[in-house]
Amino acid sequence: GNIITFSDTTNANTIFYRDTAFVGYSHVQGMYPKFNRVTPNTLMFIQTIFYKAAIAKGYDYDFKFKRDYALDMEIPLPVNINQEIDYDFMEEYMEKIKLNVNDRFSQIKSINTTSKLVDTTSWKKFHIYDDQLFEIDMGNSFDKIKMTDKDPTINFVGRSHINNGVTAQVDKINGIQPYKAGELTLALGGEYLGSCFVQQKDFYTSQNVVVLRPKLNITFNQKQFIATMIFKEGRRKYKAFIDELNRHIKTDFSFYLPVVKNTNKIDWE
C-alpha cells in the first residue's frame, strides 16, 4: 500500500491511490516513490494532478494509457522559494480538502432523504426530433487520435459517461466551427450508450456521438431534465454492440415527458 497504481490496458480512469496492501493483476502498474515525503496526502495530491494530466490526453480503449506514456508524462507541481517540490504545500492543501469534504458530508447527512414519488401516469412519449424538442445533427465523427493539442481550446466529446462526455481538449480546426455550448450530446453506441449531456463549452465530437440542437429557447435545467430522461430510456431499451441507439435515433426511439393537462404540449414548468 501507500502507492499510486494504474492499468496499462485501458483509459486513464484507472489511476488510483492505494492506502493499504493489495494484490493486482498483471496489467496493474505500481508507481513507487523516489522521494522521502511519502504520505497519504502527498500521494493523493500527486495522483490527482497525474490523473488530470492523463485524462486531458484522451486515452481510451483504442488509444490505451500504456506504461511508456506514463513514463514520458510531465505534470506540474508546486515548488518552494528554492525551486524544490513543496511537500508542505501538498500536505496543507489536502488537509483543507479533507475538512471541506467532511463539512459537506455533514451537510448531506442532514438532508431529508425521504423519497417523494412523482406521478408519471399522465406523461406522454416524445421523439427527439419532435417539433417541441431537437434537431439531430450527426456530429463531426472525428478520430481523437488524429486531433492535435498544441493550443487546446475546444472540448472533445466522446462516448464517455463521465466529465460531461468530454474526453480531451483539442486545437480548433481551421474552417470547421465547433458546436456551441448549450447544445446536447448523445452517445449512440459503445459501453456508455445513451450518455447524454448539456455541453458547457464549444466542442467537437467523436464517432457515434450526435448533437441535439433545441428547436425552442429552453433553459439549462429543462435540458438537464430531458437529458436524464433520454439516458434512462436509452439504457433501458438498447444494448451496447447488440442493438444500439444509432439504428433508432431518427425513427422509433421515444421517451416520456410531462405534459400540460389534456394537451400534447410539454410542461416546461
Q: Which of 238, 176, 231, 240 is nearest to 198 (CA)?
A: 231
Q: Which residues of 169-185 are buried (b: 16+ CB within 10 A; e: fewer)?
A: bbeeeeeeebbeeebbb
Helix (H/G/I), strand (E/B), else coil: 253 = coil
CA quadruple 187, 194, 190, 52: dihedral sign? positive
Name the domain count of the chain: 2
What single letter denotes the amino acid at residue 137? D
Do 47 and 155 lie in a common domain? no
Return the C-alpha cell found at 130: 419532435
* pLDDT confidence of residue 144: 85
Q: 99 lies in a domain?
A: no
Q: Is residue 29 part of a domain?
A: yes
Tens digits of residue pLDDT in 31-81: 999 999 999 999 999 999 999 888 877 777 667 788 888 888 899 999 999
How far apart are the C-alpha atoms of 147 and 40, rounded to whole Å?
36
Cα separation of the two ends of the chain: 52
Kindly state whether residue 262 falls inside one of the protein's structural domains.
no
At 224-241, the pLDDT tens digits run 999 999 999 988 888 877
213 and 130, same domain (yes or no): yes
Distance CA 29, CA 63 (A): 17
How would residue 165 be classed by pLDDT, with cut points 50, 70 and 90? Answer: very high
Examine the domain organization and report whether 163 and 243 are in the same domain: yes
- The CATH number covering residue 213 comes to 3.90.220.20
102 within domain boundaries: no
- Do 174 and 242 belong together in one domain? yes
Q: What is the pLDDT of residue 256?
A: 95
Q: Which residue would you say has higher pLDDT here, 15 or 13? A: 15
Residue 111, in any domain of the structure: no
Among the listed residues 248, 228, 229, the one whose alpha carbon sits nearest the alpha carbon of residue 238: 248
Specify if 162 maps to a domain.
yes
Residue 157 neighbours by CB distance under 10 Å:
29
How many other C-beta atoms lie within 10 A of the C-beta of residue 226? Answer: 23
- Residue 135 maps to a domain: yes
Domain that holds residue 50: 3-94
Q: From 78, 94, 110, give the residue that closes a domain.
A: 94
143 shares a domain with 33:
no
CA distance 103 to 105: 5
Statement to judge: residues 248 and 128 lie in one domain: yes
Same domain for 177 and 87? no
Closest of 95, 92, 91 to residue 37, by C-alpha: 91
What is the average pLDDT score of the chain? 90
Question: What pLDDT band is residue 154 in, cutting at 50, 70 and 90?
Answer: very high
